């Protein structure tokens, strides 16, 4: 059955605390921390971008899967911060892990859910027998306009999933998507920073799509909340996924393992996938996971996942999400500005 | 690290820059990086084949660069090291994710994938190997 053959995470080591950003703009840090449910966020090194994060995650996934890169028949990278407007991220990744040249490839964009769209594509190709393994990546190095609320959350990180039929650490039993045209968040071509339709970001965008996709998946699989051990939701801040869980009647304990945003920020296309990776790092055979992404514009992809015995065999080959969570160096706002290239030299 | 290199030269070196693809002499087992097509030990008896290096090694020697080349001002101070790879070859590479006081000769390091340079704001971005201390 189609599922996850291996996965890998990557989060840059730099962090900036909410306090450090708040003091520059004369804001009260405790209010922001409480409001957004976030303490600090990850910041890429000067020489890191969506391509380098994708390669690191893909190499970790390949090691975990224990397969030959040449058996990967498709590479899809989802991001809203591809380094090039024209020239794919995925070809660099394919070349770096040496899955090239016998592979198909494309980059995906759908705000924060492009990575889960990549997983669905790989599932389809594997199920159709067109490829043996597919590599799906979600990664971002997102930026908020200085002084904008997004500056506290826009972070960097990513995860890679190898999808196939054999030796899966978890089966993907079903997937369900919910998509509409919603003007909650956008960035026009050539613009450096995104804009958001403040009134649209919560109820009609995030909550509606996450809840409809999750409910749709439960219906399609004839399962209920109680059937799952873990839930992972897209996490633009620390609050939204908790509120979505509450609306769906999910106990807090089932969402905490996959909730990373309070400590690393919103990694956009990486967020749901990193949360899922953190859950897989600790999940036991037989446990069930429901993961729902969200991308502005807007849509959600929901997945029903069951962990297999294979996970124990492969666990020693994983670099856990925890490793990247715990490895950190703090930046001052001045250093952060240099890292995010907000000053032109 | 010159600022401008020809696109075709950069492109030809992608296998070695992206994934440490070197060569090995099948006769004596010696590895070469950058790749060589001739074994100086075996000479005519040498048989050269492609070999991808593991990307693991140790710091042979290093220096901290305070006055960088044009295009690298943002990175200063940074660490430039000669890394002795497990397979034998020594290569020059930047050490990342470490401060100058966290680095020492003999320290185990491994390859990571980073931006190496870019041809201005509109040009091509060059990616390749750098090294970082091995995770515990
Ligand atoms: Zn020889």
User: A223-242 pLDDT, tens per residue?
Assistant: 999 999 999 999 999 999 99
User: How many angstroms is it from B131 CA to the middle of ligand 1?
Assistant: 27
Residue A345: per-residue pLDDT: 42
Q: Are B74 and A338 a contacting pair at CB < 8 A?
A: yes
Residue B11 forms contact with A (CB below 8 Å): no
pLDDT band of residue B1 (cuts 50, 70, 90) is: very low
Q: What is the 3-state secondary structure (H, E, C) of A192-256?
A: CCCEECHHHCHHHHHHHHHHHHHHHHHHHCCCCHHHCCEEEECCCCCCHHHHHHHHCCCCCHHHH
Answer yes or no: do A138 and A205 share one domain. Answer: no
Q: d(Cα A343, Cα B79) in Å, to the nearest integer?
A: 23
Residues A11 and A158 in one domain: yes
Helix, coil or strand: residue A176: strand
User: Would residue A11 count as lying in a domain?
Assistant: yes
Whether residues A180 and A139 fall in one domain: no
Residue A13 belongs to what domain range? 3-169+313-337
Mutate to test the interface with B, among A11, A43, A47, A190 (most CBs of B within 10 A): A47
Provide the ipTM.
0.94
Q: What are residue B121's phi and psi, to 5 degrees?
A: -75, -25
Closest to A296 (Cα-Cα) out of A193, A191, A174, A207: A207
Nearest C-alpha in A relative to B76: A46
Contact A298, A180 (CB under 8 A): yes
Residue A111, Ramachandran bin (φ over 0: left; ψ between -120 and 50: alpha; else beta): left
Please give the helix or strand (H or E) that residue B90 lies within, else none.
strand B90-95
Distance B21 CA to ligand 1 centre (A): 18
Res. A141: pLDDT tops 50: yes
Instruction: From the candidates A40, A80, A151, A310, give the one annotated as an active-site residue.
Output: A80
- Given a contact cutoff of 8 angstroms between Cβ atoms, the answer to whether A328 and A266 are in contact is no
Instruction: For residue A345, tell me if it sits in a domain.
Output: no
**What token pair was written down for A35?**
């409001």
Same domain, A127 and A267: no
Please list, in sequence order, all residues whose beta carbon lies within 8 angstroms of the beta carbon of residue B71, skipping any fewer than 6 positions away: B3, B117, B118
Comparing alpha-carbon positions, the chain B residue that sits nearest to A340 is B74
Token pair of B52 as six digits: 């991808």
3-state secondary structure of B124: coil
On whether residue A245 sits in a domain, the answer given is yes
Given a contact cutoff of 8 angstroms between Cβ atoms, the answer to whether A235 and A36 are in contact is: no
Whether residues A113 and A204 share a domain: the answer is no
Q: What is the pLDDT of residue A188?
A: 87
Radius of gyration of chain A (CA): 19
Note the pLDDT of residue B2.
46
A327 contacts chain B (CB < 8 A): yes
Which helix or strand (DSSP H or E) is residue A41 part of? strand A40-43
User: Do residue A165 and residue A84 come from a single domain?
Assistant: yes
**What pLDDT was estimated at residue A108?**
97
The answer to whether residue B96 neighbours chain A at the CB level (below 8 Å) is yes
Same domain, A200 and A298: yes
Q: What percent of chain A has pLDDT over 90?
A: 88
**Is B135 in contact with A327 (Cβ distance < 8 A)?**
yes
Position B4 pLDDT exceeds 90:
no
Return the higher-pLDDT residue of A153 and A197: A153
Q: Specify the pLDDT at position B18.
A: 98
How far from the centroid of its chain's Cα atoms is residue A209's Cα? 17
Is residue A82 annotated as a catalytic residue, yes or no? no
Residue A211: give its domain's CATH number.
3.40.47.10
Same domain, A144 and A239: no
The dihedral formed by the CA atoms of A160, A164, A167 and A173, expressed in degrees to the nearest 10: 90
Helix A114-127 / helix A271-282 crossing angle, nearest 10 deg = 60
Residue B110 has pLDDT above 90, yes or no: yes
User: What are the backbone angles phi and psi of residue A196, rounded to the nearest 5°?
Assistant: -130, 145
Output the CA B2–ligand 1 centroid distance in Å. Answer: 32
Question: What local confidence, expressed as pLDDT, does residue A343 receive?
Answer: 55
Mean pLDDT of chain A: 95
- Is residue A234 in some structural domain? yes
Half-sphere exposure of A227 (CA within 13 A, CB side): 11
Distance (Å) from the alpha carbon of B113 to chain A's nearest alpha carbon: 6
Beta partners for residue B24, in sequence order:
B31, B49
What's the token pair of residue A214?
């999750």
pLDDT attached to residue B68: 87
Using the Cα atoms of residue A16, residue A19, residue A25 and residue A27 in order, give the sign of their dihedral.
positive
| Distance, CA of A344 to CA of A338 (rounded, Å) | 9
Residue A64 among the catalytic residues: no
- A48–chain B nearest CA distance, Å: 6
Rounded to 5 degrees, φ, ψ at A184 are -90, -25
B14 to chain A, any CB pair closer than 8 A? The answer is: yes
Task: Identify the pLDDT of residue B136.
Answer: 62
* Strand ranges, E, within A72-211: 72-78, 104-108, 133-141, 156-164, 170-179, 185-186, 195-196
Chain A residues touching residue B130 (CB < 8 angstroms): 47
Residue of A182, A187, A180, A89 whose CA lies nearest to A137: A89
Residue B5 reports pLDDT greater than 70: no
- Pick from A202-206, B47-51, B106-110: least confident: A202-206
Those residues whose beta carbon sits under 5 angstroms from the ion ligand 1 are B 25, 27-28, 39, 41-42, 46
pLDDT in tens, A271-293: 999 999 999 999 999 999 999 99
Q: Are residues A253 and A331 in the same domain?
A: no
Residues A321 and A287 in one domain: no
In a domain, A177, yes or no: yes
- Mean pLDDT to the nearest integer, A132-160: 93
- B58 CA to middle of ligand 1, Å? 24
Instruction: Provide the domain count of chain A.
Output: 2
**Per the domain annotation, does A342 fall within a domain?**
no
Give A-chain residues touching B75 at CB under 8 angstroms: 46-47
Structure tokens at A94: 């394919």
Taking only Cα atoms into account, the Rg of chain B, rounded to an integer number of angstroms, comes to: 16
Residue of A112, A122, A151, A310 marked catalytic: A112
Name A268's Cβ contacts closer than 8 Å, sequence gap at least 6. Answer: A79, A80, A81, A111, A112, A138, A140, A142, A154, A155
| Domain match, A224 and A125 both | no
Q: A239 and A281, same structural domain?
A: yes
Residue A94 lies in a domain: yes
């Amino acid at each position: 059955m189609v599922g996850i053959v291996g996965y890998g995470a990557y989060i840059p080591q730099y962090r900036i605390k909410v306090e450090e950003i708040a003091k520059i703009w004369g804001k009260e840090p405790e209010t922001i921390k409480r409001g957004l449910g976030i303490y600090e966020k990850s910041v890429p090194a000067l020489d890191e971008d969506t391509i380098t994060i994708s390669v690191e995650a893909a190499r970790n996934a390949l090691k975990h899967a224990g397969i030959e890169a040449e058996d990967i028949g498709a590479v899809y990278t989802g991001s809203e911060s591809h380094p090039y407007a024209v020239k794919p991220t995925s070809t660099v990744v394919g070349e770096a892990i040496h899955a090239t040249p016998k592979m198909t490839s494309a980059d995906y964009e759908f705000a924060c859910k492009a990575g889960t769209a990549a997983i669905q594509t790989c599932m389809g190709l594997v199920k159709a027998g067109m490829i043996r393994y597919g590599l799906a990546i979600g990664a971002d190095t997102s930026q908020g306009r200085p002084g904008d609320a997004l500056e506290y959350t826009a972070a960097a990180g990513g995860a890679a999933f190898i999808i196939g039929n054999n030796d899966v650490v978890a089966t993907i039993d079903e997937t369900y998507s919910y998509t509409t045209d919603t003007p909650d968040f956008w960035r026009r071509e050539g613009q450096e920073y995104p804009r958001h339709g403040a009134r649209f970001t919560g109820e009609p965008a995030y909550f509606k799509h996450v809840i409809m996709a999750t409910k749709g998946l439960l219906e399609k699989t004839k399962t209920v909340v109680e059937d799952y051990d873990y839930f992972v939701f897209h996490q633009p801040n620390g609050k939204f996924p908790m509120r979505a869980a509450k609306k769906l009647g999910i106990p807090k304990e089932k969402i905490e393992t996959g909730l990373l945003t309070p400590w690393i920020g919103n990694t956009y296309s990486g967020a749901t996938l990193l949360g899922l990776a953190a859950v897989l790092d600790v999940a036991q055979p037989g446990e069930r996971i429901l993961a729902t992404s969200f991308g502005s514009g807007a849509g959600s992809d929901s997945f029903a996942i069951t962990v297999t015995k294979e996970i124990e065999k492969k666990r020693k080959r994983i670099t856990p999400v925890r490793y990247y969570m715990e490895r950190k160096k703090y930046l001052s706002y001045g250093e952060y500005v240099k890292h995010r290239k907000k000053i032109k030299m | 690290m010159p600022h401008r290199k020809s696109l075709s030269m950069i492109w030809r070196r992608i296998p070695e820059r992206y994934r440490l693809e070197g060569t090995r002499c099948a006769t004596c087992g010696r590895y070469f990086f950058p790749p060589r097509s001739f074994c100086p030990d075996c000479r005519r008896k040498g048989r050269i084949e492609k070999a991808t290096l593991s990307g693991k090694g140790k710091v042979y020697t290093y220096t901290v660069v305070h006055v960088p080349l044009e295009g690298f001002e943002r990175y200063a101070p940074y660490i430039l090291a000669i890394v002795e790879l497990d397979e034998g070859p020594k290569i020059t590479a930047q050490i990342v994710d470490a401060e100058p006081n966290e680095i020492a000769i003999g320290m185990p390091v491994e390859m990571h994938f980073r931006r190496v340079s870019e041809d201005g704001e509109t040009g091509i971005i060059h990616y390749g190997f750098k090294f970082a201390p091995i995770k515990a």
